[in-house]
Amino acid sequence: MQNYKPYLILIIGEILLILTFLHFGHGLQQDILVLNIIVSSVIYLMLFSSFLFPLINLKDKAQSDIGFIGVNWFFSAGYTLVAIAIMVYFNLLHKETGRFENQLLVHAILFFLLLIGGFMSRKTADKVSEVYQEQKIERNQLDELRKTTKNLVLRSELMSDLSPEFKYNLNRLLEDIRYLSPSNNLDANQLDEKYIETIRRIDDMLYNKENNKENMDVALKQCAQFLKERKQLYSN
């Protein structure tokens, strides 16, 4: 029953709005009165919905609604103020020019602008979400670099027959990764993939390290070169 209370309040408020217009607007033409009720109902429903439904979804890590709020409130507030001003102007101040056709045209234009605002708000929110997803993919790529390198470092620490120089160079790779920035650059992504592939190849060669010592050293130098090139690449 608790979930129905906001909607019950919404309905009661709409009824009171209609009754108020019917009571105080008896001097208006019926078509103009109906138009004013419709416009006022749109404003009422628009404002009430902003309180009924939270504008920010705390579960949305992208926080795409933040980009939506600014544009949405700009058009909503603009529509509300101008629509009320138009009703006051035509129905109280200048009744001689307040023919139904004039008011209908003006309110139709305002409502069209409101729809454009809603479209722009949604496009803004979608763009924020898109940027977040791109950044998430970039961060995941860096996390994969750290994870594969760290696993190899931990494994090498358990092998006493590996040279201290090899272990040192491997730890240097892990240290260098800390200075990398997420990037949507295609070349950076290709370097990341090459690096991960080479690290995994080194990991495989550890099973037969006696025969692969030279290849392991070469692969380790390749990884260092990949990271050196990668540090110079940033997002477009």
Supply 33's token pair. Answer: 């009165």
What pLDDT sits at residue 68?
61
Lowest mean pLDDT: which of 25-34, 45-54, 159-168, 216-225? Answer: 45-54
Report the first-to-last Cα separation within the chain, whole angstroms: 53
The count of other CB atoms within 10 Å of the CB of residue 92 is 9
> What is residue 1's predicted lDDT score, i.e. its pLDDT?
47
Surface-to-core class of residue 13, CB atoms within 10 Å of its CB (0-12 exposed, 13-18 middle, 19+ buried) = middle
Query: Domain coordinates of the chain in residue numbers?
Result: 2-131, 135-230
Mean per-residue pLDDT for 105-109?
A: 91
Model confidence band, residue 2 (pLDDT cutoffs 50, 70, 90): low
Query: With 0-12 CB in 10 A as exposed, 13-18 as middle and 19+ as buried, what is 202?
Result: buried
pTM exceeding the 0.75 threshold for the entire prediction: no
Q: Binning pLDDT at 50, 70 and 90, where does residue 38 land?
A: very high
Handedness of CA 172, 174, 177, 178 (dihedral sign): negative
- 15 pLDDT higher than 60: yes
Higher pLDDT, 6 or 153: 153
Compute the average pLDDT of residues 36-63. 73
For residues 129-145, give the mean pLDDT: 74
Least confident of 28-32, 58-62, 110-114, 153-157: 58-62
Q: In terms of pLDDT, which residue wins out, 27 or 83? A: 83
